[in-house]
Structure 1
Amino acid sequence: MTTSYNAAGPARPGRKLGPIANTVSSSHRAWLEPTRERYLASGRTLSDLSLNVLAKSKLSELLRGIGHYPRWEVIHRLAGELEIPGWPLYRLWKQAAMDAGKSREWVDRSTEGTITTTVATDRSDRPPLEHGALCQMVMDGYLAYAGVFLAEGSHKTAVDDTFAILWLCFDEALASPDIRRYAWNILRATVKAKANYRDERPVLAEAAFSTVALHDAGPEEQPTRLAESLELFTAISKLPDAQLDVMVLRHLCGLQPKQVSDLLGIPLAAVRSDERHANRFLDDTIELPPRSGGLTHDDH
């Protein structure tokens, strides 16, 4: 995951914390990046935190993603020192642990004596009201977008992870020019990290089975329609991110331009501009009969 949270903290004595290791997985990075940013913004030092969390050298490794995957009991202590919400951090930590090949037994052992506290904290320290309102507003659109790239079940996990990351860095989200845009960038990065790729572009082929064009086609037409849809989706996957987002939401998810504008947190004019440029690219790239492509130039 490559979302930047841009939390500029005060100067602190000692050696500067090194960057996150290139070997860190996207799911590990999902909780490590906001945790690092909270540390950098806190004004605390590694020496200070080492008194109650972990030896200074080991803590430095933890914040860089170096060495063994950390046990929850250590992350729990660090979260307490940095006042990081426990429940979203635990969710992301557990997901990354499973992705790293840790067994459920290992997860249970590393949370022994702390998970009850984490759950209790979650019940008494709910996310900000604005967080809940935003999540409710964008839920359907996020699920539809993620469902174009990810299998059933995985798309829900990606959206839940997005909301957890958003909770961890909600102060930064509120300070951003548009919280909807901030949240969307997290969703896009989370979905892209979980998607399958071909030639470094996300694969959209699964969406071919739910298009309006296929549903409207008779049995004898469906093989031809499917081939045309796959060609179309391959071309869409080559678009720049902004145009790809708009085309997926408009023509694979069925949203109107104003709905796309609200979901992405960008002006309506930008949505229409991205759609126009994308359609020109598709017109130059593929030749499909108007009835089969499923794309229209409707800007209502």
Structure 2
Amino acid sequence: MTTPSESKAPATQPVPARPGRKLGPIADTVGSSHRAWLEHAREKYLASGLTLSELGLRVPLAKSKLSELLRGLGLYPRWEVIGRLSEVLGMQIIPLYRLWRQAALDARKSPEWVQRCSDKSALTAPQPNPPVAHEPFRRTVEGGYRRYAQAFLADAPCEAAVDDTFDILWLSWNSALASPDIRRYAWRILRATVLAKTPHLDGWPELVPAAFDTVAVRRPTRSSDPTEQLAESLELFRAIGRLPANLQDVMVLRHLCGNTVEETSALLGVPPPMVRSDERHARRIIFPPPESEGPIE
């Protein structure tokens, strides 16, 4: 669902198959911020109809190096290359640069290295503002996004995840407008960005380290013993972390962040009855009812 003031983006036409070898997948070692801008660059490249050879003439970069860049292989690329790539492929330079910078820092590049790479860029020229509806949307949901991220991440990674989310949303705004509901589209970006930065244990996200700053630990529990209260909280956090994605999000928003059903519905972009249904389902998984002892004879 889009608001009345938001027009749908035009449908994209299929791009004819290009000659040459198919572009390989993104490397598994690529971090979340790097992957965010890289996926967008790959989408723009594939939609452009250019071959790697043709793109290499415009960037300029050798075909083999372009292939590595678009797969996240080799050394992390300097901004001069990515800035030129953004001009050729028509990417928004400001959110692209911020994601590139965050990914560089995540890759342990020094702030001095980042600055040296940016000195000769076009960033000093006047830059376009975000789409008209982007900032009002951000103001509406940013607080809820931050509380959700805080259930998984410490302060600095939390802020980075939220900022990355809105930069990715800016880069893909036309796709967001074309989606059935901008809120659901944006939430998928937030969830993927947060979980990519979240430590995992046995394949499951760990809520325990960050979740102790949430409202759940300030609520009364079944026990008055502090040790038992701690054990209950640990058990709850681990159980929520092992729920399916939709149930997990509802439980985090409702019980760790303290959102109402209506607030949770607005953030997720789903109807309130679905929030209530997912919450009931999650509760049955976390707190299964006792087994029936059968009829009394």
Common fold: TM-score over 0.5: yes
Residues 193-212 of structure 1: per-residue CA shift (max 9 Å, x gap): 11122222112223234435
Question: What is the identity percentage for the equivalent residue pairs of Structure 1 and Structure 2?
Answer: 57
Asked if the contact 1:12–1:43 (Cα under 8 Å) also holds between the matched residues in 2, the reply is yes
Decide whether the 8 Å contact of 2:215 with 2:258 is kept in 1: no
SS in 2 for 1:105: helix
Structure 2 length as normaliser, TM-score? 0.86
1:228 paired with 2:232, answer yes
Partner of 2:87 in structure 1? Answer: 80
Report whether the alignment pairs 1:130 with 2:133.
yes
Q: What's 1:118 paired with?
A: 123
Residue 165 (structure 1) shift = 0.8
Can you list the C-alpha shifts for 1:214-237, whole angstroms capped at 9, x where unaligned? 3668xx743332221111111111
Give the Cα–Cα distance (whole angstroms) in 2 for the partners of residues 119 and 155 of structure 1. Answer: 28
Distance 2:289 2:200 in 1: 20
The equivalent of 2:3 in structure 1 is none
1:27 aligns with 2:68: no
Report matched runs for 1:1-300 at 5 Å. Answer: 9-53=15-59, 54-114=61-121, 117-122=122-127, 125-205=128-208, 206-211=210-215, 214=218, 221-284=225-288
CA distance in 1, matches of 2:248, 2:225: 27
Which stretch shows the higher mean deviation, 68-77 or 195-204? 195-204
Offset of residue 14 of structure 1: 2.8
Quote how far apart the aligned CAs of 1:112 are.
2.6
Alpha-carbon offset, residue 108 of structure 1: 2.0
Residues 214 and 225 in structure 1, CA contact (< 8 A), matched pair in contact too: no
Is contact 1:8-1:40 (8 Å) kept?
A: no
Larger mean CA deviation between 48-57 and 143-152 belongs to 48-57
Structure 1 residues 124-170: Cα deviation after superposition (integer angstroms, max 9, x where no partner)? x0110121122111101100100111112321111000001111111
Contact 2:145 / 2:162 at 8 angstroms: preserved in 1? yes
Q: Measure the CA separation in 1 of the matches of 2:144 and 2:169.
A: 16
RMSD: 2.2
Distance 2:83 2:13 in 1: 21
Gaps of 5+ in 2: 1-11, 291-297
Q: What amino acid sits opposite 1:12 in the alignment?
A: R
Q: Deviations over 1:234-287 (max 9, x none)?
A: 11111101000000101111111121111111222221111111010111299x
Q: CA deviation at 1:119?
A: 4.5
Which range is displaced more, 76-85 or 203-212? 203-212
Alpha-carbon distance in 2 for matches of 1:273, 1:87:
40
In structure 2, how many angstroms separate the alpha carbons of the residues matched to 1:221 and 1:119? Answer: 59
Q: Work out the number of aligned pairs and report it.
A: 275
- Contact kept in structure 2, 1:84 and 1:168, CA below 8 Å: yes
CA distance in 2 between counterparts of 1:285 and 1:26 reads: 39
Distance 1:7 1:193 in 2: 31
What amino acid is aligned across from residue 211 of structure 1 in structure 2?
V
- Residue 12 of structure 1 deviates from its aligned partner by 2.5
| TM-score computed with the length of structure 1 as normaliser | 0.85
Secondary structure at the residue paired with 1:60? helix
Q: Which amino acid aligns with 1:236?
A: I
Equivalent residue of 1:61, what SS? helix
Cα distance between partner residues in 2 of 1:253 and 1:73 = 41
CA distance in 1, matches of 2:284, 2:184: 25
CA distance 1:210–1:174, change in 2 (3 Å) = closer
